[in-house]
Amino acid sequence: MPIKRGKEHKQKGNRDAKRHRKKQKEIIKKNMKKIISETSIITKKKGKKVKIPIRSIVIPDFKPGKRNQDGDGKGKSEGKGAGIGQGKGKKGDVIGEKPGQGKQPGKPGQEPGEDYIESEVEIAEIIEMMLEDLGLPNLEDKKHNAEMESIEGYKISGIRKSGPHVLLDKKRTSRQGIGRFFAFLETLKQETGKEEIVCYNALRQADGNLGMALDLLESEEVKMEVEEVEPFPVLMAEDRRYLNLKEDVTHHSNAVIFAMMDVSASMTTDKKYLARSMLFWINEFLKKMYENVEIRFIVHHARARQVNEENFFRTHESGGTKCVEAYKLATSLIKSQYPTSEWNVYVFHFSDGEDWDSDSTVNEARRMLQDLKINMLGYGEIRVNGRPFSSSLRKGFEENLEMNVIDRDDLKLMVGNRFLGMVIRSKDHILPAIREFLKKERWRK
Q: Determine the pLDDT at residue 3.
A: 52
In a domain, 348, yes or no: yes
Same domain, 285 and 426: yes
Does residue 113 belong to any structural domain of this protein?
Answer: no
Q: What is the pTM of this model?
A: 0.58
22 falls within a domain: no
Q: Which of 190, 222, 243 is the last residue of a domain?
A: 243
57 secondary structure, DSSP code: P
Walk across the sheet containing 255-262 and list its strands.
Answer: 304-307, 294-300, 255-262, 344-351, 376-382, 419-424, 411-416, 403-408
| Residues 284 and 432 reside in one and the same domain | yes
pLDDT at 100 over 90: no
* 123 inside domain: no
How far apart are alpha carbons 144 and 252 in whole angstroms? Answer: 9
342 backbone dihedrals φ, ψ, rounded to 5°: -120, -15
User: Higher-confidence residue: 408 or 98?
Assistant: 408
Domain termination site, one of 188, 212, 243: 243
Is pLDDT at 147 greater than 50 in this prediction? no
Domain membership of residue 395 as a residue range? 251-437
Type of residue found at 163: G
What is the average pLDDT across 260-273? 90
222/278 same-domain check: no
Residues 258 and 350 in one domain: yes
Residues 271 and 414 in one domain: yes
Residue finishing a domain among 176, 210, 243: 243
Higher local confidence (pLDDT), 39 or 20: 20
What is the C-alpha to C-alpha distance for residues 91 and 233, in angstroms, rounded to an integer?
Answer: 85
Residue 317 lies in a domain: yes
- Asked whether residue 222 is assigned to any structural domain, the reply reads yes
Q: Which range, 79-93, 105-119, 155-169, has the best average confidence (pLDDT)?
A: 155-169
3-state secondary structure of 428: helix
Whole-number average pLDDT of the chain: 77
The answer to whether residue 177 sits within a structural domain is yes
